[in-house]
Amino acid sequence: VVINGAAKEIGRAAVVAITKARGMEVAGAVDSYLVGEDIGKICDMEEALEIPILNDLTMVLGSISQSKATAVVVDFTDPSTVYDNVKQATAFGMRSIVYVPQIKMETVSALSAFCEKASMGCLVAPTLSIGSILLQQAAISASFHYNNVEIVESKPNARDFPSQDAIQIANNLTNLGQIYNREDISTDIPARGQVLGEDGVRVHSLVLPGISSSTTVYFSRPGEVYTLKHDVTDVQSLMPGLLLAIRKVVRIKNLVYGLEKFL
């Protein structure tokens, strides 16, 4: 496995998780930060992995392609570089996993066409959290029984809002033949939150230092409130999903959008 974006917090967590996983090994580390440093030392592992961080993806892929082992490139970089990164990995016969929040859907469409033509597997994952996916699935089931729903999310620092998780939940709930929150679906009062889609799903975002990253979906009708909540306290929560994705992506020959397709 090659980690592109290895010096990031999630990249370092991925290096540790892959090193411990059965049947996997870290074969390369790419980043523009801490270039030349051993990725094992950067991750505070007991022993160095003797894999330096390089800032040249092509060089890393070229050296690994000499081996006959199955290779996967995990991309934690930036929406502007994802297409070229996957294209390079495909050229060297390697599958890709893309976890880059805020990636544009036109980029996903272009990648899908490219992977289809090349018959090469790629997973684009809006989330790697299995808990988040289970929350989304539970929300879909609940939506058939309730007429009111609102999403409240929290983050310790300001990022792009609504988050990808909230958008994904709202997208899943929309177009199910249900109109939510009919009483105030057309209100333009800012404090009522942002409406995603045309079905009245409202999202409220909290940004408070020290608060955990959390997504809560409230369903209600007269006399009851049904609450679904998922908290993320550490980037480690994404590692089971990442390992699952690595094991599954080597078996496909096209682009798959969403880790839930592998569950």
- Distance, in Å, from the CA atom of 141 to the CA atom of 135, rounded to the nearest integer, reads 10
Q: 61-70, 100-109, 144-153, 184-193: which has the minimum mean pLDDT?
A: 184-193
User: Does the structure show a pLDDT above 80 at 178?
Assistant: no
Q: What is the pLDDT of residues 109-143, one digit of tens each?
A: 999 999 999 999 999 998 999 999 999 999 999 99
d(CA 216, CA 204): 10
Nearest by Cα to 240 from 43, 89, 47, 17: 17
CA separation (Å) from 28 to 5, 56, 73, 94? 11, 11, 9, 13
Residue 208: predicted pLDDT: 92
Q: Is residue 29 within 8 Å of 52, Cβ to Cβ?
A: yes
pLDDT at residue 99 in the model: 96
Reported as a single tens digit per residue, the pLDDT across 8-67 is 999 999 999 999 999 999 999 999 999 999 999 999 998 899 999 999 999 999 999 888
Per-position DSSP letters for 117-132, written without gaps between them:
HHT--EEE-S---HHH
Omega prior to 190 cis, within 30 of 0: no
pLDDT in tens, 204-255: 999 999 898 999 999 999 999 999 999 999 999 999 999 999 999 999 999 9
User: Which residue shows structure tokens 């505070």?
Assistant: 44
* The two three-digit tokens of residue 105, written as one number: 């859907």
String of DSSP letters for 1-49: -EEETTTSHHHHHHHHHHHHSTT----EEE-SSSTTSBHHHHTT-SS--
Per-residue tokens: 197: 């889609």
Give the number of residues written for the chain. 263
pLDDT at 183: 79
Percent helix, strand and coil across the chain, each to the nearest 5 = 35, 25, 40
Cβ–Cβ under 8 Å, residues 181 and 173: no
Q: Is the pLDDT confidence value at 107 over 90?
A: yes
Q: Please give the pLDDT value at position 226.
A: 97
* Section 92-101 average pLDDT: 94
User: From edge to edge, which strands make up the β-sheet containing 2-4?
Assistant: 53-54, 28-30, 2-4, 72-75, 95-98, 122-124, 255-257
Predicted local confidence at residue 177, as pLDDT:
72
Distance in angstroms (rounded) separating the CA atoms of residues 77 and 228: 31
Burial class (CB in 10 A: 0-12, 13-18, 19+), 131: middle
Stated pTM of the model: 0.89
pLDDT at 11: 97
Residue 69: the pLDDT is: 83
Banded pLDDT at 5 (limits 50, 70, 90):
very high
Cα–Cα distance measured from residue 25 to residue 18, given in angstroms and rounded to the nearest whole number = 6
Q: Which residues contact 196 (CB under 8 A, 6 or more apart)?
A: 162, 166, 167, 170, 171, 174, 202, 203
